[in-house]
Amino acid sequence: MDNDALPNGIDERYYLLQVAREQFGCEPDKLDAEQLRQAGRIVARQRRIEDAVLRSGEASGVVIPAAQVEEARAQIASRYADGQALQQALASHGLDDGGLRAALARALKVEAVLERICAGLPEISDTDLSLYYFNHPEQFQRPESREARHILITINPDYPENTRQAARARLEAIAKRVRSKPERFADQALKHSECPTALQGGLLGYVTPGKLYPQLEASLFSLAAGELSPLLESPLGLHLLRCEAVAPAAKVTLEEALPRLRDRLQDRQRKAFQRQWLERLLQQPAPVEKAHG
């Protein structure tokens, strides 16, 4: 079978499955009428773009190795308990393994063509990087952060030691110990915290705004280095926080920014070039198929 072709009907079902999950976070049969229409429009445009890419001269000679297809299939299969679960999931959407491989081969070829057309793009120069850095200072501000540890005691009325009253009493006793001997916080977290971070002495690392529950964040960012929070409650349970250190807001230096900035601007250049190439490609009339007879 031609790598660019898909069995009749398999392609639409595969693409609809992909769009439903990525755009709407559900299976195709869970889409309402309007979502199904939107998904249909997205699928149609995606197919139109891919058809144009695969008809282009740049697609000539692009071959996707079978091993690359198998690797992509293996990534999908890893989301399921076993091979049978994958087959059942495919069958529930009218798909099969052959159709999946064909769809993956097609998608990989489209990606390869889009990479090929970017092969001649120039590297972003150090001068361009410096100009971008100095012209966009607001993008290189590092927010204030706090290095924090915490101890979590969960609330679960099904267990006598984790009722709200018992959990609070347990955490208050821990808080009393660490207030008298702050250096024992990590040890107490290891012994008593019910969070996976207990294995690291309750260490949360450096926390920036927006990473914690609001009630925890407000308390943490009011603490000085070495201070403990009062007992706090979140949907996870009761917490005791310790601020280990304060890293004030600062500007990221050019040297620090360069590696990620180069990648970001290079990627932006590639996407802009691909978009322009696709726009020109879609403006070209589709070839007319000759009748056989």
Domain assignment of residue 281, yes or no: no
- What's the token pair of residue 217? 């964040």
Domain assignment of residue 276, yes or no: no
Query: Are residues 104 and 171 part of one domain?
Result: no
Give how many domains the chain has, as a whole number. Answer: 2
Domain that residue 27 falls in: 10-117
Domain assignment of residue 122, yes or no: no
Element at 55 (helix H, strand E) = helix 33-55
Query: Are residues 53 and 152 part of one domain?
Result: no
Query: Are residues 204 and 109 part of one domain?
Result: no
Query: Are residues 91 and 16 part of one domain?
Result: yes
- Residue 143, Cβ neighbours under 10 Å: how many? 11
Query: Are residues 44 and 102 part of one domain?
Result: yes
- What's the token pair of residue 55? 């008809």
Q: Sign of the CA dihedral 272, 276, 282, 287?
A: negative
* Bridge partner residues of 239 (DSSP): 152, 232
pTM of the shown model: 0.66
Please say which residue of 55, 83, 117 terminates a domain.
Answer: 117
Domain assignment of residue 277, yes or no: no
Side chain identity at residue 172, one-letter code: E
> For tokens 């590297």, what's the residue?
123
The answer to whether the CB of 194 falls within 8 A of the CB of 153 is yes
User: Mean pLDDT by 10-residue block, N- to C-terminus, for the chain (293 residues)?
Assistant: 48 85 89 93 92 94 95 92 89 87 93 95 94 95 95 92 93 95 94 95 95 95 96 95 95 94 96 96 74 52
The contacts of residue 284 (CB under 8 Å, 6+ apart) are 52
Query: Are residues 225 and 166 part of one domain?
Result: yes
* Bridge partner residues of 241 (DSSP): 150
Domain assignment of residue 199, yes or no: yes
Please say which residue of 208, 226, 248 terminates a domain.
Answer: 248
143, 144, 170, 188 from 293: Cα distances, Å = 71, 74, 86, 84
Element at 90 (helix H, strand E) = helix 83-92
Task: Identify the pLDDT of residue 8.
Answer: 47
Domain assignment of residue 280, yes or no: no
CATH number of the domain to which 162 belongs: 3.10.50.40
Q: How far apart are CA 23 and CA 91, in angstroms?
A: 22
- What's the token pair of residue 52? 């144009």
Query: Are residues 98 and 150 part of one domain?
Result: no
Task: Identify the pLDDT of residue 1.
Answer: 40
Question: How is 74-107 classified by DSSP, letter by letter?
Answer: HHHHTTSSSHHHHHHHHHHTT--HHHHHHHHHHH
- What's the token pair of residue 15? 């693409």
Q: How far apart are CA 9 and CA 156, in angstroms?
A: 51
- What's the token pair of residue 79? 């989301």
Please say which residue of 231, 248, 265 terminates a domain.
Answer: 248
Task: Identify the pLDDT of residue 263.
Answer: 95
Domain assignment of residue 217, yes or no: yes
Task: Identify the pLDDT of residue 285.
Answer: 78
Question: How is 1-43 classified by DSSP, letter by letter?
Answer: --TT---TTHHHHHHHHHHHHHHHSS-GGG--HHHHHHHHHHH
The answer to whether the CB of 82 falls within 8 A of the CB of 138 is no
Smallest Cα–Cα separation from 221: which of 195, 252, 202, 249? 249
Domain assignment of residue 257, yes or no: no
